[in-house]
Amino acid sequence: MRFIGIGLAAALSLAVMAPAAVMSAPKKPAAAAAAPDGLDPKARAAGMAAVPALLTQSGHTCTLAEARLIGEDKKSGQSYYEFSCSAGVGGVIVGKKDGTAPSYYNCLETNKPQADGKPSSLFCKLAGNADPKAQLAPFVAKTPVTCPIVNARAIGASPTSTYFELGCADGSGFILVTSTPMSLDKDIKMNTCLAYAPGGNISCELTTREAQLGLVDTLMASTGKNCAVTDKRYILTTINLSTYYEVACQDGKGYVLERNAAGALARTIDCANAPSGAECTLTDAREAKTEQAGLYSRLAAKAGFACTVGKYAMFPSKAREEVVELQCSNRPDGGVAVFDADGNGKVSNCVLSLLDGRKCSFSDAAAAYPAVTADLKAMGKSTCTVSEARPIGRTATGDGYLEVGCSDGLPGWVLVYGGGSNKPKEVLSCKQAAGVGGGCKIANNVRS
Beta-bridge partners for 196: none
Encode pLDDT of 50-80 as tens digits: 999 999 999 999 999 999 999 999 888 999 9
Taking the mean position of all CA atoms in its chain, how far away is CA 89?
A: 27
Cβ–Cβ < 8 Å for 78, 96: yes
Encode pLDDT of 313-347 as tens digits: 888 877 778 899 999 999 999 999 999 988 899 99
pLDDT band at 104 (very low <50, low <70, confident <90, very high): very high
Can you tell me the distance from the alpha carbon of 269 to that of 272, in angstroms, rounded to the nearest whole number?
A: 8
DSSP 3-state of 409 = coil
* CA distances (Å), origin 58, targets 22, 53, 96, 99: 17, 9, 11, 11
142-146, 237-241, 314-318, 394-398, range with the lowest pLDDT: 314-318
Q: Is the peptide bond before 41 cis (omega within 30 degrees of 0)?
A: no
Task: Please state, for a pLDDT cut of 70, what percent of the chain lies above it.
Answer: 91
Strand (E) or helix (H) holding 336: strand 335-340
Can you tell me the distance from the alpha carbon of 90 to that of 203, in angstroms, rounded to the nearest whole number?
A: 26
Cβ–Cβ < 8 Å for 255, 246: yes
- Which of residues 351 and 263 earns the better pLDDT score? 351
Could you tell me which of 194, 171, 319 has the C-alpha nearest to residue 244? 194
* CA distances (Å), origin 274, targets 245, 313, 361, 444: 11, 10, 18, 44
> Has residue 164 got a pLDDT over 90?
yes
Can you tell me the distance from the alpha carbon of 27 to that of 44, in angstroms, rounded to the nearest whole number?
A: 17
Q: How many CA atoms lie within 13 A of 150 on its CB side?
A: 9
Could you tell me which of 243, 209, 216, 244 has the C-alpha nearest to residue 230? 216
Position 36 scores a pLDDT of 65
Position 201 scores a pLDDT of 64
Encode pLDDT of 118-158 as tens digits: 999 999 999 999 999 999 999 999 999 999 999 999 998 88
> For the range 229-233, what are the long-range contacts, defined as Cβ-Cβ under 8 Å and sequence gap of 24 or more?
231/282, 232/282, 233/281, 233/282
Encode pLDDT of 192-203 as tens digits: 999 887 776 667
Beta-bridge partners for 335: 326, 349
Position 239 scores a pLDDT of 85
Strand pairing category for 254-259 and 78-88 = unpaired
147-156, 273-282, 436-445, range with the lowest pLDDT: 273-282
The sign of the dihedral angle between the CA atoms of 254, 256, 262, 264 is negative
Dihedral (C-alpha) 38, 39, 41, 47: value to the nearest 10 degrees?
180
Position 4 scores a pLDDT of 38
Can you tell me the distance from the alpha carbon of 101 to that of 55, in angstroms, rounded to the nearest whole number?
A: 10
Position 31 scores a pLDDT of 45
Position 7 scores a pLDDT of 36
- Cα-Cα end-to-end distance for the chain: 45
Give pTM, 2 decimals.
0.62
- Which of residues 291 and 438 earns the better pLDDT score? 438
> Has residue 10 got a pLDDT over 80?
no
| Residue 46, phi then psi, degrees to nearest 5 | -65, -40
pLDDT band at 423 (very low <50, low <70, confident <90, very high): very high
DSSP 3-state of 136 = helix
Taking the mean position of all CA atoms in its chain, how far away is CA 9?
A: 21
pLDDT band at 99 (very low <50, low <70, confident <90, very high): confident
Beta-bridge partners for 347: 337
- Which of residues 3 and 61 earns the better pLDDT score? 61
Q: How many helices (H) and strands (E) does the chain have?
A: 9, 21
State the average pLDDT over residues 214-221: 93
Mean pLDDT estimate for the chain: 88
Position 257 scores a pLDDT of 95
Strand pairing category for 62-73 and 78-88 = antiparallel
Position 76 scores a pLDDT of 87
State the average pLDDT over residues 403-424: 94
pLDDT band at 420 (very low <50, low <70, confident <90, very high): confident
Residue partners of 354: CB distance under 8 A and separation at least 6: 365, 389, 391, 402
Could you tell me which of 94, 172, 85, 170 has the C-alpha nearest to residue 135? 85
Position 32 scores a pLDDT of 44
Cβ–Cβ < 8 Å for 361, 377: no
Position 272 scores a pLDDT of 85
What does the DSSP assignment read for 188-257?
A: -EEEEGGGS-TTSSS---SS-HHHHHHHHHHHHHTTT----EEEEEEEEEBTT--EEEEEEETTS-EEEE
Could you tell me which of 319, 228, 306, 230 has the C-alpha nearest to residue 268? 319
Q: Is the peptide bond before 132 cis (omega within 30 degrees of 0)?
A: no
Q: How many CA atoms lie within 13 A of 154 on its CB side?
A: 24
Position 448 scores a pLDDT of 52
